[in-house]
Amino acid sequence: MVISISDFDKVDIRVGKIIDAKDFPNANKPAYQLTIDFGSEIGTKHSSAQITTLYTSDELVGKQILAVVNFPPRQIANFFSEVLVLGLKQDDGSVVLLEPEREVRLGVKVS
């Protein structure tokens, strides 16, 4: 499927910093509940992420990540996931997070 650049421009991908990560025992698959700071323009958002195979909650805090911030919220069990954290799904099902290769200002848009 080919999309146009105007289609891609509709997807708002921003840099955020994980400020809290907790186990999510009510999720169907192992996941964390993340609190992510996207800076003053977007603020703090929450996300559920199935990234428990490669990451501990402690090592996630302080990590900059990329996330889609303009999808509608999605209810997962008793939690509303407001952004989609981006990662690369490997053959074994584990997910490697997409993150900037150096520290950048929170809320910067991918272009």
CB 53 within 8 A of CB 85: no
Domains in the chain, please, with CATH?
11-97 (2.40.50.140)
The pTM assigned to this predicted structure is 0.94
What gap in Å lies between CA 105 and CA 63, rounded to an integer? 13
The pLDDT, as a whole number, for residue 26 is: 93
pLDDT digits (tens, 9 = 90+) for 71-90: 999 999 999 999 999 999 99
pLDDT digits (tens, 9 = 90+) for 45-75: 999 999 999 999 999 999 999 999 999 999 9
The mean pLDDT of 32-54, rounded to a whole number, is 97
Residue 111 confidence (pLDDT) above 90? no
The pLDDT, as a whole number, for residue 15 is: 98
